[in-house]
Amino acid sequence: MTGKKPNAFMLLCWKFISPALIVIILVMSIYGQFRDGYYYDKYDVKLAGTVSVQYPPGIVITGYAIWFSAILWIPIEAVLTYVYVISTY
């Protein structure tokens, strides 16, 4: 973009460090959500306050299906481009 080749540190970050960190963050985020679950606050008249209620499993599965349908194309494109099946240009 600037006409100069990036230095070795930037190439290392772009090729290895950043993708590895992104995958680690993604996996740990999904693990944390499966471990802790999804909750929302609901007002309880008897207690005169809010209580945390867990989302039903069907809602969580639907949410993950929507999320995966949008995100899954990024690694698919990367793998296909890497093995030269398609071109991104």
The DSSP string of 33-80 is: HHHH--EEEEEETTTTEEEEEEPPHHHHHHHHHHHHHHHTHHHHHHHH
Give the chain's length.
89
Residue 85 belongs to a domain: yes
Nearest to 41 by CA among 28, 31, 50, 29: 50
- Phi, psi (degrees; rounded to nearest 5) at 73: -70, -25
Number of domains composing the chain: 2
- Say which residue, 16 or 26, is predicted with more confidence: 16
- On whether both 60 and 46 belong to a single domain, the answer is no
Q: What is the mean pLDDT of the chain?
A: 86
Domain around 69: 56-89
pLDDT tens digit sequence for 38-74: 889 999 999 899 999 999 989 988 988 998 898 888 8
Residue bearing tokens 């973009």: 1
| Per-residue confidence (pLDDT) for residue 60, from 0 to 100 | 86
Percentage of residues of the chain with pLDDT beyond 90: 35
pLDDT of 87 above 70: no
- On whether both 86 and 61 belong to a single domain, the answer is yes
| Per-residue confidence (pLDDT) for residue 75, from 0 to 100 | 82
| Per-residue confidence (pLDDT) for residue 33, from 0 to 100 | 79
Longest dimension (CA), the chain: 68
